[in-house]
A = this chain, B = another copy of it.
Amino acid sequence: MDATSAIELDSILHQPVRTRIAAFLVARGEATFSDLKKEMQVTDGNLDAHLKKLVAAGYVKTNKQTGQGRPQTTYRLTRPGQSAFENYLEALKRLLSLRF
């Protein structure tokens, strides 16, 4: 058993679009669908699918607002989502800077 064997990379977070969404939300705190779409440069359907996956994992929460003006949903990381992201970073650091 050597140093890398135990290192698992969270498969929810370790995916191109979702890693970027998570990093963006960590940096921004919260964002709208449009913010994310502009930033990620993906199609609507694709963004929706990734967001749904993050929500299903309990990593992201939504807040839909209606009433005043156009309805708008904001997305932000949950506490578990933040921890998962931190753990993910730790795993990456350990995995990628290792000397065998």
Task: Please list the residues of chain A having a beta carbon within 8 angstroms of any beta carbon in chain B.
Answer: 2, 4-5, 7-9, 11, 14-16, 19-20, 23-24, 27-28, 38-39, 41, 89, 92-93, 95-100
Give A35 Cβ to nearest chain B Cβ, in Å. 10
In the complex, the answer to whether A4 meets B16 with C-beta atoms within 8 Å is no
Query: Whose C-beta in chain B lies nearest to the C-beta of A10?
Result: B16
Whether the Cβ atoms of A23 and B95 lie closer than 8 Å is yes
Q: How near does chain B come to A96, taking the closest CB pair, in angstroms?
A: 6
Given contacts A39-B4, A92-B92, contact A20 B27 (CB under 8 A): no
* B96 and A23 within 8 A (CB): yes
Smallest CB gap from A19: residue in B: B9
